[in-house]
């Protein structure tokens, strides 16, 4: 099955700096890679996702890049703000058929702290 | 519209008791997922429903865990003879399509504590 590794486990930055979180996956059939943000005590919420037919996607201060050959994808947050502080999870899933439709395999999470 | 809801929000039980956790997905969402999040950990897949059937139960940790979904809507996760290691937040998610590339919307979770 799929295995997703996420690094770093904690990340501390100053307000205005950039933050980068990296994930690797093992299943070459994976083709959908969402990123979720989870604030303390709250539910995970999707912030951006990317499909395997594109290499990069951007939404304001957030961008995700995907390298299918190397099987890794990254989240980039620019001009970080204190409200970006949260736990970020990457995930991967395959639409390759069988019984694994939609099953997300998550990374272990990155605790991002943005200091004012 | 209303998002995914779960009940109860918190459940404290004694070791050996059975518990039932409920999930109400977003109306019209055909796919429903259960995940478990232990303290400081990522989300662990438990089971996936497509309509009322469960084509993927591969994440259920033991035969003490079971789940059902009726009417293509509400789902119940049942844990029998609870153990302390079952303590976690149980999250439910739903998505519009059963295919993988559709956003999963999460509920607020049920925090289960087994004493």
Residue A99 pLDDT > 60, yes or no?
no
Percent of chain A clearing pLDDT 70 (strictly above): 94
Across chain A, mean pLDDT equals 92
Question: DSSP labels for chain B?
Answer: ----EEE-SEEEE-TT--EEEEEEPPTT--EEEEEEE-TT--EEEEEEEETTEEEE-TT--STTEEEEE-TTS-EEEEE-S--GGG-EEEEEEEESSSSTTSPPEE---EEEEE-
Cα–Cα distance between B14 and B65 in angstroms, integer? 16
Contact assignment for B31 to A34 by CB distance below 8 Å? no
Percent of chain B clearing pLDDT 70 (strictly above): 96
Closest to B42 (Cβ–Cβ): which among A46, A89, A100?
A89
**Which 3 state secondary structure label does DSSP give A44?**
coil
Contact assignment for A106 to B91 by CB distance below 8 Å? no
Query: What's the pLDDT tens digit per position in A40-82?
Result: 989 999 999 998 888 999 999 999 999 999 999 999 999 999 9
Q: A101: pLDDT confidence band, cut at 50, 70 and 90?
A: low
Across chain B, mean pLDDT equals 91
Residue A96 pLDDT > 60, yes or no?
no
Percent of chain B clearing pLDDT 90 (strictly above): 69
CB B21 within 8 A of CB B90: yes
Chain B, residues 23-82, CB within 8 A of chain A, namely 31, 33, 35, 41-45, 48, 50, 55-56, 58-59
Query: Taking CA B54 as the corner, what is the angle to CA B48 and CA B57, rounded to the nearest 5 degrees?
Result: 65
Query: What's the pLDDT tens digit per position in B97-110?
Result: 755 567 899 999 99
Residue of B26, B30, B42 to mutate for A, most A C-beta atoms under 10 A: B42
State the nearest Cα–Cα gap between A81 and chain B, in angstroms: 23
Cis-peptide into A109, omega within 30 deg: no
Contact assignment for A32 to B101 by CB distance below 8 Å? yes
Residue A95 pLDDT > 70, yes or no?
no
In terms of CA atoms, which chain B residue is nearest residue A95?
A: B100
The pair of three-digit structure tokens given for residue B49, joined into one six-digit string: 């429903």
């Amino acid at each position: 099955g799929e295995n997703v590794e996420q690094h770093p486990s904690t990340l501390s930055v100053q307000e205005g700096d950039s933050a980068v979180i990296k994930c690797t996956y093992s299943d070459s059939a994976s083709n959908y890679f969402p990123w979720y943000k989870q604030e303390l005590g709250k539910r995970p919420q999707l912030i951006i996702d990317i499909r395997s037919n594109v290499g990069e996607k951007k939404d304001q201060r957030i961008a995700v890049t995907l390298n299918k050959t190397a099987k890794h994808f990254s989240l980039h947050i620019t001009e970080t703000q204190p409200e970006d502080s949260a736990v970020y999870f990457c995930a991967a899933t395959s639409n390759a058929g069988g019984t694994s439709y939609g099953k997300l395999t998550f990374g272990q999470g990155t605790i991002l702290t943005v200091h004012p | 519209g209303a998002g995914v809801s779960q009940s109860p929000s918190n459940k404290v039980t004694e070791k050996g008791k059975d518990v039932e956790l409920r999930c109400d997905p977003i109306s019209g969402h055909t796919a429903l997922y259960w995940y478990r999040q232990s303290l400081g950990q990522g989300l662990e897949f438990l089971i996936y429903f497509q309509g009322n059937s469960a084509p993927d139960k591969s994440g259920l940790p033991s035969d003490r865990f079971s789940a059902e979904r009726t009417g293509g809507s509400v789902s119940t996760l049942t844990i029998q003879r609870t153990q302390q290691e079952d303590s976690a937040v149980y999250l439910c998610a739903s998505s519009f399509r059963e295919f993988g590339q559709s956003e999963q919307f999460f509920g607020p979770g049920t925090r289960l504590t087994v004493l």
